[in-house]
Amino acid sequence: MAKINLSQNESKVLRALIEDSRLSINEIAEVTGLNRNTVRKAIKHLISSQIIAKFTVEVKSGDYDNLVMIDTENIDLIPESERLEVFELSNGRFIVVSNLNVLKRNIRYTSVNVVRKIEKHSILHEMVKVYCDYCGKEIREEAIILEHKNHQYYACCKNCEIDLRRKLAKVA
């Protein structure tokens, strides 16, 4: 995967949108400390350069007891509305993640596995440069992550973490 070189402002806007794609331009400006015009231009550039392909909705569910992974040759037997994830394999088969109720349908499959746990991993750090939300320096090592008002902020070192905590405390 090719690395994407973004400006510091674009990186801040992209991180805010990844965290919550429902944020308005005003809310992104507030979260990032940028003005509205800068946020608007950054979003336009991220879309026009195809870094942002689409805005999506992620439905939260802590209950994975009802999910299954089905290995099948014929994906057409599973209604599109019941396909949560579809993986097309190189051998022409499909792995479909769906609700357990889909097994009530007459589907021919090779195997079915019940999903016990789902872990989501972000590859953001591999795709874009991440900057310290206090000093603006690019973070090349492990970032120190601060949670504040349901948002994540990044610090490059202990000193920036302390200063960023003070800054966020004043805003609160």
Distances (CA, A) of 66 to 45, 81, 82, 118: 40, 16, 12, 12
User: At 37, is the secondary structure helix, strand, or coil?
Assistant: helix
In the predicted model, is pLDDT for residue 121 greater than 70? Answer: no
pLDDT score for 1: 45
| pLDDT at residue 99, rounded to an integer | 86
pLDDT confidence band for 100 (50 / 70 / 90): confident
3-state helix, strand, coil in the chain (%, to 5): 35, 20, 40
Give whichever of 61-70, 84-93, 104-113 has the largest mean pLDDT: 84-93
CB 155 within 8 A of CB 134: yes
Percent of the chain with pLDDT over 70: 86
What would the mean pLDDT of 103-132 be, rounded to a whole number? 74
150: left (phi over 0), alpha (psi -120 to 50) or beta: left
